[in-house]
Amino acid sequence: TGRVIHSQITLVELSCIFFFFWLWVLLKSWNEAQSFCREHHTDLAPVSNEQDNLKLGKLGNSNDYIWIGLKKNSSESQKWMWSGDGQEMEYEAWGERGKPTCPHPKMKCAAIQATGGTESPIYFLKFI
C-alpha cells in the first residue's frame, strides 16, 4: 500500500562512516516500512548518537515525522530495540512529550523529526 510521490537518495556521514539513505515519501505503517526497506535495501535507519539524529532528521521537511528502525520488543521488558541488529537502544533523544512510559499497545515504534527529537506516533509515515 502507499503511493510513491517521490523518493530521495542522500549520502550521509554517520559516526564517521558514509551511508546512502533513501527517504521514501510513501505513507506506511512501521511494519510496512520495515518490510519495504528489507525487500528493497537493508532495514530502517538506526540512530546511535545526537549528530546522527540531527543529520537524519534533516532529510525530511520540518513538519515531517519519519520512521526509523526503533521499536519496542514484544517481551515483558518492553525495551526499545534497533530492528537491524536487535541491539538495545543506548542513545535517547525523545521529543517534547518525552519518552513514552506507558505500555500502550499502539506506541511501539519510533520516528524522528527535523528538530532532532524522537517520538512514538501511531500513524502512517514516510521512512528512511
> Residue 5 has what pLDDT?
44
pLDDT at residue 99, as a whole number: 60
pLDDT tens for each residue of 106-123: 668 888 876 655 555 445
Tell me if 72 is assigned to some domain.
yes
pLDDT averaged over every residue in the chain:
71
Q: What is the DSSP letter of 76?
A: T
Domain assignment present for 2: no
On whether the pTM is more than 0.75, the answer is no
How many domains, in total, are found in the chain? Answer: 1
Q: In the predicted model, what is the mean pLDDT of residues 27-43? A: 86
pLDDT at 77 over 50: yes
Query: In CATH, what number is assigned to the domain containing residue 101?
Result: 3.10.100.10
Whether residue 1 lies inside any domain: the answer is no
Q: How confident is residue 3, by pLDDT bands cut at 50, 70 and 90? A: very low
Query: Residue 12 sits in which domain range?
Result: 7-127
Integer CA distances (angstroms), 30 to 20, 46, 61, 106, 109, in order: 20, 14, 19, 11, 7
pLDDT tens for each residue of 95-106: 666 565 544 556
